[in-house]
């Protein structure tokens, strides 16, 4: 599909303990058909919602019954899990909904757990362990297991034991570290010679870190700024504005903004016939006081917080995804 929604990789996870990474979702995909063309794609991206409306046209003489899928982002457990996941619902972590011709679609959820590259879903289900590795309920279910079962899970690479001291005693906490890979799927019929509308929406996984990371006064500061300029097409106007807001504290300068990141992966597309007839991208920065930067052609401001790009016969760029940088003023 013309887009797969991912929420950008953090600039540097090792930069600070309060950096919150984000996950990437992929957009609606289906088994390739040379008869189905995408007449239009209307993509709306904001800190609160991702909304994508497509119009598909079946050019063939027959109805097309197509398997449609929505791959979710991989979620990998770790000892210091610092990744933004919008909801705690293990069946719908991103609050995903979709409609076909205005009617809600009932999708089938397919979750799979992997450790060391091997699928271990049934092992976890046999022990009544939730498959989402980051949830508190999953951690609690693992801790409630008997020691022989824990040793089995350790041996399979599903959990990692970590020691800690409590009440003068050494205790072991087993951390879920498997990879959750999941997809929603459903069948859709694209009628011959007709145009249908498909819409899906979900909550973004918003990456964030305290402060402004690309203006730090460290040895790699200039390289970080250059990389940020390239990734987000960051202009001198925003850099100048940030520097003017800086507050010196000895050898260090702090800036009264925090970074948020969103990415939309559109390079995974091309499973329909031809280009996108009409493509619209609307970015909502959320608050008029926020600063926003992203790469796009002929982008124009259409409202206090809205920016729009439109293109005809559009194809996803092969060399870059949509990377959005939001700079949000810190609260007093």
Q: Which pLDDT tens digit goes with each residue over 113-148? A: 999 999 999 999 999 999 999 888 999 999 999 999
Range of the domain at 316: 4-120+178-329
Domain boundary among 144, 160, 177: 177
In the chain, what percentage of residues exceed pLDDT 90? 46
233 and 286 part of one domain? yes
Instruction: Please tell me the total count of domains within the chain.
Output: 2
Do 84 and 184 fall into the same domain?
yes
Cβ–Cβ < 8 Å for 115, 174: no
Least confident of 79-88, 268-277, 284-293: 79-88
Q: Are 101 and 83 in contact (CB under 8 A)?
A: no
Mean pLDDT of the chain: 83
301 and 159 within one domain: no
Residue pair 77/118 in contact (Cβ under 8 Å)? The answer is no
Distance CA 120, CA 249 (A): 51
Domain termination site, one of 144, 161, 177: 177
Inter-residue contact 122 to 199 (CB < 8 Å): no
What pTM did the predictor assign? Answer: 0.76
Q: In Å, what is the CA distance from 314 to each residue of 18, 176, 198?
A: 39, 43, 18
Where does the pLDDT of residue 83 fall: very low under 50, low under 70, confident under 90, or very high at 90 and above? Answer: low
- Residues 140, 228, single domain; the answer is no
Predicted pLDDT at 272: 67
In the beta sheet, which residues pair with residue 71? 183
CB 2 within 8 A of CB 55: no
- Partnered with residue 5 across adjacent β-strands are 264
Last residue of a domain, one of 136, 160, 177: 177
CATH of the domain at 204: 2.60.40.3680
Give the three-state DSSP class for 313. Answer: strand
The SS3 call for residue 57 is strand
- Whether 107 and 243 share a structural domain: yes
Residues 115 and 150 in one domain: no
Q: Beta partners for 4?
A: 265
Q: Phi/psi of residue 105, each to 5°?
A: -100, 130
Q: Are residues 151 and 52 in the same domain?
A: no
Q: What are 182-219's pLDDT values in tens digits? A: 888 888 899 999 999 999 888 877 777 778 889 877 77
List residues bridging with 254 in a β-sheet: 247
Lowest mean pLDDT among 1-5, 167-171, 282-286, 292-296: 1-5
Q: Hey, how many other C-beta atoms are within 10 angstroms of the C-beta on 327? A: 21
Instruction: Give the separation between CA 5 and CA 23, rounded to whole angstroms.
Output: 9
Q: Are residues 51 and 163 in the same domain?
A: no
Contacts of 331 (CB under 8 A, 6+ apart): none
Contact at 8 Å (CB) between 262 and 45? yes
Based on the fold, state whether residues 116 and 136 are members of the same structural domain. no
- 42 and 86, same domain (yes or no): yes
Measured between alpha carbons, how far is 20 from 260 in angstroms, rounded to an integer?
9
């Amino acid at each position: 599909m013309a887009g797969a929604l991912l929420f950008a990789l953090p600039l540097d996870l090792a930069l600070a303990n309060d950096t919150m990474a984000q996950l990437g979702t992929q957009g609606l995909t289906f088994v390739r058909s040379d008869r189905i063309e995408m007449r239009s794609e209307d993509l709306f991206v904001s800190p609160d919602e991702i909304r994508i409306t497509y119009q598909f046209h079946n050019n063939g003489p027959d109805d097309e019954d197509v398997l449609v899928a929505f791959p979710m982002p991989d979620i990998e457990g770790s000892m210091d899990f610092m990744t933004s996941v919008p909801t705690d619902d293990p069946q719908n972590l991103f609050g995903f909904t979709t409609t076909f011709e205005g009617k809600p679609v009932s999708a089938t959820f397919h979750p799979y757990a992997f450790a060391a590259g091997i699928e271990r879903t049934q092992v976890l289900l046999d022990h009544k362990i939730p498959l989402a590795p980051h949830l508190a309920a999953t951690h609690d279910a693992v801790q409630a297991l008997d020691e022989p079962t824990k040793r089995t899970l350790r041996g399979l690479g599903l959990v990692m034991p970590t020691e800690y001291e409590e009440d003068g005693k050494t205790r072991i906490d087993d951390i879920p570290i498997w990879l959750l890979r999941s997809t929603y799927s459903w069948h859709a019929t694209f009628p011959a010679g007709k145009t249908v509308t498909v819409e899906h929406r979900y909550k973004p996984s918003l990456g964030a870190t305290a402060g402004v990371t690309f203006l730090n006064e460290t040895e790699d500061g200039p390289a970080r700024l250059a990389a940020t300029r390239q990734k987000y097409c960051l202009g001198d106007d925003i850099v100048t504005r940030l520097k003017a807001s800086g507050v010196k504290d000895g050898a260090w300068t702090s800036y009264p903004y925090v970074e948020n990141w969103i990415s939309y992966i559109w390079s995974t597309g091309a499973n329909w016939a031809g280009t996108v007839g009409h493509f619209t991208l609307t970015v909502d920065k959320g608050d008029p006081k926020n600063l926003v930067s992203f790469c796009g052609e002929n982008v124009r401001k259409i409202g206090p917080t809205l920016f729009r790009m439109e293109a005809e016969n559009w194809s996803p760029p092969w060399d870059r995804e949509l990377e959005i940088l939001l700079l949000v003023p810190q609260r007093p």
